[in-house]
């Protein structure tokens, strides 16, 4: 017999830790820490947050960008580009081979495509009558490895 109950924050951490433990038993991790927080914020002269990126590097030298946001008042001024570039620079310096994220059709798909991200999946009707795009970008390091592989054959 078992019960399904609401999780506490501690319960959620336990569940996530068990999945990470299992994943690492199947595919060895490539970095010392399982998750490295790469989140950054941009503030105005009064200290108010006008933009930011929430991202982390995880187990296998991959980066997941959860959120990239810039206040409407500050859009088009290069803030999003700088936040994305800082994350990509970190990737280049730290042996990251893949960056991935998701965005909706009413958000920033064109922005990410402009910087080399490509769609690898689409979820229709999420939300209804809209699309959620799953996007990725191989780092320059990974592109060089892929290119070297092609040249050998």
44 neighbors 77 (Cβ within 8 angstroms): no
Alpha carbon 77 to chain centroid distance? 22
pLDDT values of the chain reduced to their tens digit, one per residue, 153 residues: 999 999 999 999 999 999 989 998 998 887 778 899 999 999 999 999 999 999 999 989 999 999 999 999 999 999 999 999 999 999 999 999 999 999 999 999 999 999 999 999 999 999 999 999 999 999 876 555 555 555 544
99 neighbors 91 (Cβ within 8 angstroms): yes
How high is the pLDDT of residue 146? Answer: 55
- Among residues 21, 41, 137, 28, the alpha carbon closest in space to that of 82 is found at 41
Tokens of 58: 């995880």
Predicted structure pTM score:
0.84
How high is the pLDDT of residue 142? Answer: 58
- Among residues 99, 88, 91, 83, the alpha carbon closest in space to that of 135 is found at 99
- Among residues 106, 108, 102, the alpha carbon closest in space to that of 79 is found at 108
| All structural domains of the chain | 30-152 (3.40.630.30)
Distance between CA atoms of residues 55 and 98, nearest Å? 13
Establish whether the linkage from the previous residue to 127 is cis, with ω within 30° of 0: yes
Distance between CA atoms of residues 87 and 90, nearest Å? 5
């Amino acid at each position: 017999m078992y019960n399904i109950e609401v999780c506490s924050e501690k319960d959620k951490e336990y569940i996530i830790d068990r999945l990470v433990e299992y994943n690492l038993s199947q595919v060895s991790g490539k970095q010392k820490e399982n998750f490295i927080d790469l989140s950054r914020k941009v503030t105005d002269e009064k200290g108010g947050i006008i933009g930011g990126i929430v991202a982390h590097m995880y187990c296998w030298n991959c980066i997941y960008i959860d959120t990239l946001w810039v206040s409407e008042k500050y859009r088009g001024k290069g803030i999003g580009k700088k936040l994305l570039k800082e994350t990509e620079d970190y990737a280049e310096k730290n042996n990251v081979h893949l960056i991935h994220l998701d965005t909706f059709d009413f958000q920033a798909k064109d922005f990410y495509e402009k910087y080399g991200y490509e769609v690898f999946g689409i979820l229709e009707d999420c939300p209804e009558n809209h699309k959620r795009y799953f996007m990725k970008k191989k780092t320059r390091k990974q592109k060089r490895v892929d290119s070297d592989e092609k040249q050998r054959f």
